[in-house]
Chain A
Amino acid sequence: MRAFLHGFGMHVPERAVTNAEMAARVERTPEWIEGASGIRERRWAAAEISVADLAIAAAHDCLERVDVAASSLGLIIVASGSARPGFPGPAAEVAARLGLESTPAIDVPMASAGSLFGMAMAAQMAAHYGDALVIGAEKMSAVVESAALDPNTAILFGDGAGAALVSVRPGPFEILDAVLHSNGQYRDSLAFDWSTPLRMNGLSVILQAARKLPSSIEEVLARQKIAAADVQMFLLHQANQNLLVRIAKSLGVPAERVYSNVARYGNTSSASMLIAAAEWSQANPTSGPVVFSAFGAGFHWGALLARSV
């Protein structure tokens, strides 16, 4: 059964935390932060705002853009690595606040790769359940403020949410294929459990991401016999500008072909790829193939290929 992407939505909090403000917290300079990450500012939500609040705002934005009523949704998938621990996760609250009383709502507690996995799952499940709303929502500021973090890590993160509507009804993009991978041998390289500070072995994470992101993209493109040079835009998890540039180089495409908003929002984990998609799709007419790709804690990684209809 074919599946289609109908559109995207996003939400970021109003408050911008500049590098100057962050530099004072971590005893670095604003210039050092930008050089290390490409980030100039990130958005942080107020203390009372939850992951579900951010998710709902992105959900409404997406549903408005695609002109679909929440009542018609058949499936909700919410990816988040920063939702508060325990159960239920934010998916149930999101569904309830959308007015849904019996629609299945699934949490994907996966962090950065969560929305990619959610989109691939939705593409398979939409035929059975109906229109699927996939959301990536993160309040990474709560992670940063939960403990004294390594400055190299604390500078990276921002809050936000992105959403996508997946349906078997024909839409602007047909989902052609997806590849998903996980390797739990690296589960300690990037981990967070609220009882201790976020742990990140930056050397291992970047080394693996710099290899696995392009390899999964090349894998899905090869399966569909599409050249990287023919892809209109690569919409990747916005981890770090230096990484995005290296991915473009590995793929042999101009850096401009890899969408980047990391300078404005920082790394919003599972939200970032869908926020990028929402921004890009608003500003650009769709023509040709588009690749989504993400890598994150686990490690989990993969790529999804879609093509404008």
Chain B
Amino acid sequence: MPDATRRERLLRVLKTVTTQQLPADDDESLFESGLLDSFALPDLVSALEKEYSIKVPDRDLNPRKFDSIARIDTYLQDHAG
């Protein structure tokens, strides 16, 4: 479970790339719910890089890493310091 501050920050980023209601369940698939499509995903990765001042390397460009709020948070914990 993301901590509250980090979660709020992540939700703000997600809201910049989708107009849909964010899921209440952090483990819900953002793709299967229709919240992210194949063109919103590159925008999300770019937005995360900007927000967290990180560079997501090409080897990490795996949609599964960004499939839910929980997975994105795990990635950010490991890479955003």
Contact = CB atoms under 8 A, between A and B. Distances in A.
Contacts of B61: 204, 207-208, 211
Contacts of B45: 207, 211
A243 B39 CA distance: 7
Given A206-B38, A207-B45, A242-B39, 17 more contacts: A202-B38, A203-B31, A203-B41, A203-B63, A204-B62, A206-B39, A206-B42, A207-B38, A207-B41, A207-B42, A207-B61, A207-B63, A210-B42, A211-B58, A212-B58, A243-B39, A246-B43
Nearest to A204: B63
Interface string A240-259: 00110010001000000000
Interface in B11-64: 31, 38-39, 41-43, 45-46, 58, 61-63
Interface of A: 201-208, 210-212, 215, 242-243, 246, 250
- Please tell me the size bucket of the interface on B: 10 to 19
Nearest to A202: B38
Contacts of A250: 46
Most chain B beta-carbon neighbours within 10 Å: one of A202, A203, A204, A205: A203
B49 to A, nearest CB: 10
Contacts, number: 36
Contacts of B38: 202-203, 205-207
Nearest to B45: A207
A210 B38 CA distance: 10
B10 to A, nearest CB: 18
B47 to A, nearest CB: 12
A211 B62 contact: no
A35 to B, nearest CB: 11
Contacts of A205: 38
Contacts of A242: 39
Given A203-B31, A203-B63, A246 B58 contact: no
B63 A246 contact: no
B41 to A, nearest CB: 5
Contacts of B62: 204
A215 B61 CA distance: 14
Contacts of A202: 38
A206 B41 contact: yes
25 contacts: A201-B63, A202-B38, A203-B31, A203-B38, A203-B63, A204-B63, A205-B38, A206-B38, A206-B39, A207-B38, A207-B41, A207-B45, A207-B61, A207-B63, A208-B58, A208-B61, A210-B42, A211-B42, A211-B58, A212-B58, A215-B58, A243-B39, A246-B42, A246-B43, A250-B46
Most chain B beta-carbon neighbours within 10 Å: one of A211, A246, A250: A211
A83 B62 CA distance: 30
Nearest to A152: B38
Contacts of A207: 38, 41-42, 45, 61, 63
Most chain A beta-carbon neighbours within 10 Å: one of B31, B38, B39: B38
A211 to B, nearest CB: 6
A246 B61 CA distance: 16
A301 B42 CA distance: 17
Contacts of B42: 206-207, 210-211, 246
A215 B45 CA distance: 15
Contacts of A211: 42, 45, 58, 61
